Structure 1
Amino acid sequence: MSTPLWITATPPDSDGELHIGHLAGPYVAADVLSRHLRADGQSVLFTTGTADHADSVEVRALRGGRKPEEVAAGFRTAITADWLRSGVEFDHVVQPRRDRGYQRWLQDLFLDLYAKDVIAPRTRLLPYCEPCDRWLYGAHVTGVCPHCGTRGDGGLCHTCARPNDGDLIDPVCSLCGSPGRPRRCRRLYLPLEPLRELLADYWRSAGLPPRLAVLCEGLIEDGLPDVAVGHPGDWGVPIPVDGFSGHRIDACFEAAAMHLFGYGYDKKPLPERTIHFSGFGHSFCHVVLLPAILVARGVKLPQEIHVNETYRIDVEDARGPDGKPMVWALDLLTEFGSDTLRRHVLQARPLGRRTDFRRDELDRTRQMLDGTWNSWLTRLFTAVREECAGRVPDAEPGGDGWEALRRRLHRAAEDVREAYGPEAFDPRRAVAILDEVVRCATDFGYVNVFERRRPSGTARHLAPLMAQLAVASALTSWAWPVMPEGAGRLAQALRLAPGGPVVPEALAPPAPGTRLAPPSGPVFGF
């Protein structure tokens, strides 16, 4: 029995709510692929987690005078609610502070790597804040990345994706702003250089996107680093190694290992195919640390990575009608609905280059759905109600230009299927093709509306209605991965089951005599 195709998305830090940039990154795109494959009859496991032990959670708690577990719990609830409202459906979301056996599993993995000398102690300089009496690592420190020269937090640079542990230029405490003073600190590291050949072989065979290939080849050329996998602190999973009492497992190492727990690693065979969705700033965990953990244990996991760049948010361009910034997923989902927001972030997805969020472009996305998709469906449902008493007519699809349109729609189905598939995944192209399908159906409807005025009284106007109902039926499957809420409403109106495979055969109207049940409001969006 073959294993399911495993899809993962980067666990977000539980230090705040999801904003539109998160949705434009890994989550909606990964859900599109998952929905398409499931509808096609393939077995899929779609997982993520919440990075409850991220350093940023502790920093936010310290700034607000709260306990980090309270911060993590509150935002974990908000994040999972935002996923649900946006239609992103995971099979398993790892919750580190709630999942039974998680902490023991992570510590056992850590101990196994330590016993194999994959993890080893090193003494290195690390910034220390004397006023706060605290070691500075991760989100506790800001400084200039020694690799790319941009300013950011410690740990991993979100611009170049390289680790900068202890190497930040001009380190400053994130809490009090005091300069970090270098001190010798003995910690546990995962040296990557001993795994050079195994990792290089893995990267060569993985077919990495150019952006990640450059990262990995640069790491090899410069000498693979020793990656800190623990630090002295109070927040996180305790390190179970003698001599390191008071140390915690690093959040980046945990984020990489969390995927394995979500899959059920050590309990079932690893999948034949894995597809990761990640922002470039977090890609080190996916493309370096996770393979390093596995190859060190003698496992080569076939992985593919879809990496996105940053979706920049200009607060001035993101203000709502009341003048308040509108960037949070909850606010935008409440105002625009999941169909509009999902469709928009797929169109604006920062693939290969950074893109910008603009409120006016989101408004235009809603106008497109209302003025084209919903307008056409409203006219179609009205025509069926007025001319056929609300029931599907007993006629074959037809009308002027139908045969040419049908051939075009069959080609469109194949193109959409390709754009949804893992080999040529391109949801932006899928959205463009679906728009063209609706525009063609709209034009076809306008051309054939004159059939009802024939003096001969023949029922030739029914065939174009059936043809448009066939297109509407197809959209309950073809649009399902992008806009599942609207596709579900459309399926309910047509008395069909939503989410079928994306195939030309979906272009078939409901059975004659079926009483339609159009929604009282818009079908797609609101």
Structure 2
Amino acid sequence: MSTPVWITATPPATHGELHVGHLAGPYVAADVLSRYLRAEGEPVLFTTGTADHTSSVHVRALRAGRKPEEVAEGYRAAITADWLRSGVEFDHIVRPRQDRGYARWLGDLFRRLYADGVIAARTRLTPWCEPCGRFLHGAHVTGSCPHCAAVSDGGMCHECARPNDGGDLLGAHCAQCGTPAVPKRCRRLYIPLEPHREALAEYWAATGLPPRLAALCESLVEDGLPDIAVAHPAEWGLPVPVDGFPEHRIDGCFEAAAMQLFGHGERPLPERAIHFCGFGHAFCHAVLLPVLLFARGVKLPQHFCVNEAYVIEDEALVWGTGRKAWALDLITEYGSDTLRRHVLEARPLGRRTAFDPDRLAAARRELDESWNSWLSRLFTAVREQSSGRVPEALPGGTGWQVLERRLLRGLEDLREAYSPEAFDPRRAVALLDEMVRSVSDFGHVNAHEAHRPAADGRYLPVLAAQLAVARALAAWARPVMPEGADRLAAALRTHAGGPVRSEVLTPPAPGTRLAPPSGPVFGF
């Protein structure tokens, strides 16, 4: 049996809840691909983790007057619950503070890299806050990115995805008290990337990076690959297991990259890996993770699905009385089907997009007025014309052959949109909507067969045809809307899931008594 396709999604920092922008980024999209490949019979390993030791957790704890471990654990539980409620099903979620052996594994990796010369000590000017009495790194320091001038924390600019060393931030100041930072010499541990120039350039050339990520990587090579700090003097995080750095903690970005390897475990490395991440986090996936693999003598074929930022421009949607942008609140109000299809339609590829509550409401209307309306009419017709059972008839009716050909052509496009090579979940949603509209029109046109004076069972093939499409959609739509697809499969008394293939375009067994749900099939 072949090794599983390895799919990863960026570990989120546990300094806050998930909002709709997070779901529109890597998580739902990665779950769609995972579900499709599994339906095709391909083994999949789908992993992530939670970045509990990032500096943003410590900053949040300081501002709230809480312990950082309390902040990390509370938001970790909220994030994993939101994933579950939105239908995102990981095989393994690394929990840095709970998983047995994780701290020892990370320490051993760090120590080995230091012994091999991959990690080396450097003395550099580092931001220092005199009132707080601490060196500033990560979220503890804020300024302007020296590369793009955007507002940035230390370590990584989430706008241009280029690293900084904290000391080169423009106008650097303490995020806690606002005091301008002063440069102070500090000896820290770094990964110098320049020794990996050839290996990285060869790796990037063979990977087929998305254009913006390719531009970033080529710029890094042209400007001279930097040294990346992988530890800092800090109060929060896992301790550096190297003599001479007693008050230092392992950097959160380094840990996020290494966490992916821990999540994969001791399995044989796969034939390919597919990484889902926002562009602002791409450095960890495209630069640090390959370097860690090179250190193990591994060059793993990898593919990147990189999204831009999906921003919430109206802060009242997050912090206002209504709280209309948090994942938990939206799932509670709209259901996972509606929210998933919305974030896939609005997924920011190649450009930044903004959350629009009206578009989310439109996604619910599409499900109600098209998908659920058609299914409600179909279940009612089966009850009235066939005693609630699948009729003893082959699919037919006026226009059925045309509709069947159209569905099969759409199926080929749908399979392409689901495939790793041409992955486009927005296209998948549009294709599924068009299929439902087509079968709904077919049902309306043929509904008059039931009222002909000499109907003579003419309407039963029409019901069988629509039931065939319903059964197919229970499989074909499952990667996008698993909750509704499983509800539809239960109503049809068929197995949940199934391949996204033509063979499922058949009605349930004749005589099967249907079990329609009391409410909507998709969404609620």
| TM-score above 0.5, yes or no | yes
Tell me the CA shift for residue 317 of structure 1. 8.0
Confirm whether residue 84 of structure 1 aligns to residue 84 of structure 2. Answer: yes
Confirm whether residue 251 of structure 1 aligns to residue 249 of structure 2. Answer: no
1:168 counterpart residue number: 169
Tell me the CA shift for residue 387 of structure 1. 0.9
Tell me the CA shift for residue 468 of structure 1. 0.5
1:95 counterpart residue number: 95
* Distance in structure 2 (CA, Å) of the matches to 1:136 and 1:369: 49
Letter in 1 for 2:169: L
CA RMSD of aligned residues (A): 1.1
1:286 counterpart residue number: 285
Pick closer, same or farther for the CA change 1:319–1:369 going to 2, 3 Å: farther
Confirm whether residue 31 of structure 1 aligns to residue 31 of structure 2. Answer: yes
Confirm whether residue 270 of structure 1 aligns to residue 269 of structure 2. Answer: yes
1:295 counterpart residue number: 294
1:404-415 matches, within 5 Å, as: 404-415=402-413
2:458 counterpart residue number: 460
1:351-373 superposed Cα distances (whole Å, 9 cap, x missing partner): 11111111111011100100000
2:468 counterpart residue number: 470
* Distance in structure 2 (CA, Å) of the matches to 1:164 and 1:288: 14
* Distance in structure 1 (CA, Å) of the matches to 2:178 and 2:389: 70
Letter in 2 for 1:155: G
Residues 323, 329 of structure 2: 8 Å contact kept: no
Name the SS for the 2:237 alignment partner: coil
1:186-335 matches, within 5 Å, as: 186-264=187-265, 267-315=266-314, 318=317, 324-335=322-333
Confirm whether residue 70 of structure 1 aligns to residue 70 of structure 2. Answer: yes
Letter in 2 for 1:117: G
Residues 449, 455 of structure 2: 8 Å contact kept: no
2:429 counterpart residue number: 431
1:362-401 matches, within 5 Å, as: 362-401=360-399
1:321-360 matches, within 5 Å, as: 324-360=322-358
Identical-residue share of aligned pairs (%) = 70
Name the SS for the 1:108 alignment partner: helix
Tell me the CA shift for residue 268 of structure 1. 2.8
Name the SS for the 2:335 alignment partner: helix
Moved over 6 A (4+): none
Letter in 1 for 2:74: G
Letter in 1 for 2:342: H
Which sections of structure 2, spanning at least 5 residues, go unmatched?
Answer: none
Which sections of structure 1, spanning at least 5 residues, go unmatched?
Answer: none
* Distance in structure 2 (CA, Å) of the matches to 1:90 and 1:438: 29
* Distance in structure 1 (CA, Å) of the matches to 2:356 and 2:454: 53
1:515 counterpart residue number: 513
Residues 394, 512 of structure 1: 8 Å contact kept: yes
Tell me the CA shift for residue 412 of structure 1. 1.1
Name the SS for the 2:471 alignment partner: helix
* Distance in structure 2 (CA, Å) of the matches to 1:462 and 1:293: 62
1:474-504 superposed Cα distances (whole Å, 9 cap, x missing partner): 0110000000000000000000112111011
Tell me whether 345-354 or 267-276 shows the greater mean CA deviation.
Answer: 267-276
1:404-460 superposed Cα distances (whole Å, 9 cap, x missing partner): 110111111111111111011001000000000000001000110111122223110
2:7 counterpart residue number: 7
Letter in 2 for 1:40: E
Name the SS for the 1:353 alignment partner: coil
Tell me whether 228-237 or 456-465 shows the greater mean CA deviation.
Answer: 456-465
TM-score normalized with structure 1 length? 0.98
* Distance in structure 1 (CA, Å) of the matches to 2:383 and 2:177: 68
Tell me the CA shift for residue 319 of structure 1. 7.9
Tell me the CA shift for residue 261 of structure 1. 0.1
Confirm whether residue 502 of structure 1 aligns to residue 484 of structure 2. Answer: no
* Distance in structure 2 (CA, Å) of the matches to 1:237 and 1:469: 56
* Distance in structure 1 (CA, Å) of the matches to 2:39 and 2:276: 20
Pick closer, same or farther for the CA change 1:30–1:182 going to 2, 3 Å: same
* Distance in structure 2 (CA, Å) of the matches to 1:294 and 1:435: 42
Residues 486, 525 of structure 1: 8 Å contact kept: yes
2:156 counterpart residue number: 156
Tell me the CA shift for residue 314 of structure 1. 2.2
Residues 317, 358 of structure 1: 8 Å contact kept: no
1:58 counterpart residue number: 58
Name the SS for the 2:380 alignment partner: helix
Name the SS for the 1:276 alignment partner: strand
Residues 190, 228 of structure 1: 8 Å contact kept: yes
Tell me the CA shift for residue 323 of structure 1. 5.8
1:240-265 superposed Cα distances (whole Å, 9 cap, x missing partner): 1110111000000000000000001x
Residues 122, 187 of structure 1: 8 Å contact kept: yes
Residues 145, 157 of structure 1: 8 Å contact kept: yes
Tell me the CA shift for residue 318 of structure 1. 4.0
Residues 317, 359 of structure 1: 8 Å contact kept: no
1:141-199 superposed Cα distances (whole Å, 9 cap, x missing partner): 00000000111211100001011112101101000000000000000000000110111
Letter in 2 for 1:212: L
Paired residue total: 523
1:39-81 superposed Cα distances (whole Å, 9 cap, x missing partner): 1111000000000001000000011111100100000000000
Name the SS for the 1:184 alignment partner: strand
